[in-house]
Amino acid sequence: MDWTDDAIVLSLRRHGEHGVILEALTRDHGRHLGLVHGGASSKRRATLQPGNSLRLHWRARLSEHLGSFTAELTRARAADMFEGRAALAGLNALTAVAAAVLPERERHTPAFEGAVALLDAIAGHGFTEWAPLFVRWELGLLDELGFGLDLARCAATGATDGLIYVSPRTGRAVSAGAGAEYREKLLPLPQFLLGNQATTPNESDIAAGLALTAHFLEQWVLAPHHKTLPEARARLGDLAARARTESA
């Protein structure tokens, strides 16, 4: 059994004296693990840093086996992200969320392609530029996993205008008028998620967007499997909340 695919490094853990278990998100083979012989060497570790893109070749005697990887570096991003607090938080959150919510060996090509674009943005831009993309990537994950939000019209009235809330129970948008009485129980709906390009998302919009996707990832995807939101993802939400407070 063998295949070759494009991949993003999610995590590493030591295996024996010289090897590592590589967890990667691949384009066509989903989240996949494999043994990298000699992966603990300093030269290999530089290649296998989280966030880097690889060309992976996987081989195993049987499909259900762990198998082994050989890896060729195609895009090094890790060094660009390790130097910035926000960029490192984004990298850690992305890899943690992908590892927590995507089933092993199940193809999710849009999630992979979105992660590549998001990592490039994190490596090359500031927080307020890439954080809205992070929110959209998580919305895409929810949709791929069968938990897409309905933000097109008001759940109560069917209106397509004035949508400013989301029901935390149903994931459907709610208009200002219909939600006025229950606003304390509803989640804010950032306008950039409605395709409104009139204004650039600010720190408040970003914090609200990250809180929105975190809620549904935890309640709909993770909790049924007795999991909680990864700490790295919670730290990204905290970072956004602090940025909102500082900008107020």
Distance linking the first and last C-alpha atoms of the chain:
56
Q: What is the pTM of this model?
A: 0.94
**Cβ atoms of 113 and 171 closer than 8 Å:** no
pLDDT tens, residue by residue, 73-101: 999 998 888 878 999 999 999 999 999 99
Q: What's the burial of 209, exposed, middle or buried (CB within 10 Å: 0-12/13-18/19+)?
A: buried
**Per-residue tokens: 74:** 């195609």
Residue range 144-180, pLDDT digits in tens: 999 999 999 999 999 999 999 999 999 999 999 999 9
The secondary structure of 125-184 as a DSSP string is S-HHHHHHHHHHHHHHHHHHTT---B-SS-TTT---SSEEEE-TTT-BEEEHHHHGGGGG
How far apart are the C-alpha atoms of 62 and 158, rounded to whole Å?
52
